[in-house]
Chain A
Amino acid sequence: MDEPALIAAAQAGDLNAFNQLITDYQSPVYNLAYRIMGDGDSASDAVQEAFISAYKNLQHYRGGSFKAWLMRIVTNACYDELRRRKRRPAASLEALTVVEQGPDAETEASLVSHAESPEAFTERRELARQLQTCLDGLPEDMRSVVVMSDVMGMEYAEIAASTGAALGTVKSRLSRARARMRACLRQSDNWELLPAAFRLEEETAP
């Protein structure tokens, strides 16, 4: 069954069809939530909430990119959770502690490469932690845009559809987010320690 047929079936109440859509999109949806929230537990909560909300509101889906529609729902779920954290500083501190302790287990697992030396693995893990710290320091709207664009490789138009913002706004937010990320990375000790591969590629780039 193709995607439009699955969507139509799900709109008619077929939970199995909707679960097939979830299977197709849960990885990018979870990755987006993880990068916005900064920790796995909060991301899982937001994704679960988003999928339930999406199923409940399927009748409001009016066509277009289903992925972008899902991304928008999970982005809003993340924003809701982040606002709740602001109102409850204790929960926010708890989440920060988790981040400070290092990447989650699943992140570490995803970073493990059998061809990688222990030093290179440590370096990459430290870089991932630093990047997430810099992402966490961005305003919500910039964070979601830069994650969609530079971490997940989504196109501008798809980002615009996923965030509900105009194309020009997406470009502007992305530009400011990149500038902030650059400044954040420059302030860190890792700027000089960025993997040599990045620098070599950079020097030879046109």
Chain B
Amino acid sequence: MISSYDFDQLSAYLDDQLVPAEKASLEARLAAEPELRATLRELRLTVRVLRALPPVALPRSFVLTPAQVAARTGAARPGRPARRSLAPALRLATAFSAVALALVIFTDLRDGVLTASPAAQVETVLVTTSAAEAPADAGPAPSDTPTSDEGVEILEFAASEAATTPPAGDGTAGGDAAVTDPAVAADAQATPAGSALLAPEPSITATPSAERDGATPVPEADTGTKNAGPTVTGTPLTVAQVAATPAATPDDNDRSADTAGGAPPVAPTPAPGPANLRVIELGLALLTVLLGLAAWLTRR
């Protein structure tokens, strides 16, 4: 069996690259080992055949023209070289974008927002627009719409409990609304129609709808019962917390709560962070995908 060392020795022997001692040793082995001798013969034949390959005629002259040189050294040359030079920058940008996205998501998770209600956070962005656009007199929503995820309900209940705690519960419609409305509202938020939660309990949900649409909440507060006021306003707070944009709606809610007969001091104030983070995450994700696509297209 011919080892790779033997091949090295035979190859060097063919090129007369062995030192005298190595050469003498190999020649002694060649005299004694027919297999080694046969291998040397075949290797020599291989080299001879390769060396007999005739040179290939030039298909054309490769002399450069000034235009070729100028085009290559010019900065604004379109086509492959420019695209190639762009590719590393795009890959780098993609990597940075991905890292930024990961950091934002990490921050988000660390704050415990995503872990509490991941789907609700996503819905926040969707609902923000639908709630703002939905008219107060939207048609009745199907009452059998699938219940939204638990995350939304958890937030709704937490907020509604906080809103209904301070005023003395009257045990009437107000109390019922405080408990049931958040869930109903959450259900409605999950539907495309957004504000179509009026059908099941129109007397109560009319107020949040009007408030969300920017209608003056004062008449509602005046016509509503004293006890129902806080509970009703507590309900739109929870809806608005998920649905409204952080900039405008919280003020509206606070105002409506004040005018509706004294807002509870512990009424939850919507945190603007999650919605902003959602927008940033979506934007970064989109940017990462686009940059990655561009880097892939220019990878040549």
Residues of A within 8 A of B (CB): 15, 18-19, 22-23, 26-27, 29-31, 34-35, 40, 44, 47-48, 51-52, 55-56, 84, 87-88, 104, 106-107, 109-111, 127-128, 131, 146, 149-151, 153, 156, 171-172, 174-176, 178-179, 181-182, 185-186, 194, 198-199, 201-202, 205
Interface size class of B (residues with CB under 8 A): 35 or more
Contact B47 A150 (CB under 8 A): yes
The interface bits of chain B over 40-63 (1 if a CB of A lies within 8 angstroms of the residue's CB, else 0) are 011111111111111111111111
When distances are taken between beta carbons in the complex, the residues of chain A under 8 Å from B72 are: 52, 56
Bound: A153/B50 CA distance, A = 10
Question: What are 22 contact pairs spanning A and B, CB under 8 A?
Answer: A19-B64, A26-B61, A26-B63, A27-B58, A35-B53, A40-B59, A44-B60, A44-B62, A88-B300, A107-B57, A110-B57, A128-B53, A149-B15, A151-B51, A171-B11, A175-B12, A178-B46, A179-B43, A185-B46, A198-B45, A198-B48, A205-B44
Question: From residue B51, how far is it (CB to closest CB) to chain A in Å?
Answer: 6
Cβ of B68: which chain A residues have Cβ within 8 Å of it?
A: 52
Residues of A within 8 A of B28 (CB): none
A131 to B61, CA, bound (A): 26
Q: A-B contact count, CB below 8 Å?
A: 126
Interface SS of A by simple majority:
helix
Interface pairs A-B: 6 shortest CB-CB: A175-B11, A150-B50, A175-B8, A19-B63, A182-B46, A106-B57
Are B11 and A174 within 8 A (Cβ)? yes
Contacts of B20 in A (CB 8 A): none
**Residue of B15, B57, B61 with most chain A CB atoms under a 10 A cut-off:** B57
Secondary structure dominating the interface of B: helix
Binding site for A on B (CB under 8 A): 4, 7-8, 10-12, 14-15, 17, 39, 41-64, 66, 68-69, 72-73, 299-300
Q: By CB atoms of chain A within 10 A, which of B47, B56, B59, B61 has the most?
A: B56
Q: By the criterion CB–CB under 8 Å, are B55 and A110 in contact?
A: yes
